[in-house]
Amino acid sequence: MQTFSCIRCGKERIRSTSWKEKIGTSKITYTMLICPDADCQKIVESKLKERKDYIETIQANSLKRRENLRRNRRPRKKVH
Ligand SMILES: [Zn+2]
């Protein structure tokens, strides 16, 4: 099994919870790994959340841009 060290302090992360989820025909085990240092874990979590928001913003923007491109590529010209 792979071990993960904390991205912030480098301590080996401990298993917090694990659960199984069925996706289609395969079962996947999810394991939540947290830093043994509670304060450090809080900081890491808030950083991850920031990043997630940031990634979601980028994705939303690129989606919008793609929609605009599609609209611009096919300009509807009405000929009367
Ligand atoms: Zn840590």
pLDDT value for 74: 67
Total-model pTM:
0.55
- Ligand 1 midpoint to CA 68 (Å): 43
Structural domain count of the chain: 1
- Ligand 1 midpoint to CA 51 (Å): 17
pLDDT value for 78: 73
Question: Would residue 67 count as lying in a domain?
Answer: yes
Please state, in angstroms and as integers, the Cα–Cα distance from residue 20 to each residue in 30, 32, 41, following that order: 6, 11, 23
For residue 70, the number of C-alpha atoms closer than 13 Å in the C-beta half-sphere is 6
Q: Which positions ≥6 away from 17 have C-beta within 8 Å?
A: 31, 32
Model pLDDT for residues 9-52, shown as the tens digit of each residue: 999 999 888 999 998 999 989 888 899 999 999 999 999 899 98
Q: Is the separation of the CB atoms in 31 and 18 below 8 Å?
A: yes
- Ligand 1 midpoint to CA 45 (Å): 10
Per the structure, the complete domain to which residue 20 belongs is given by 14-73
What DSSP character marks residue 13?
A: P
Question: Would residue 1 count as lying in a domain?
Answer: no
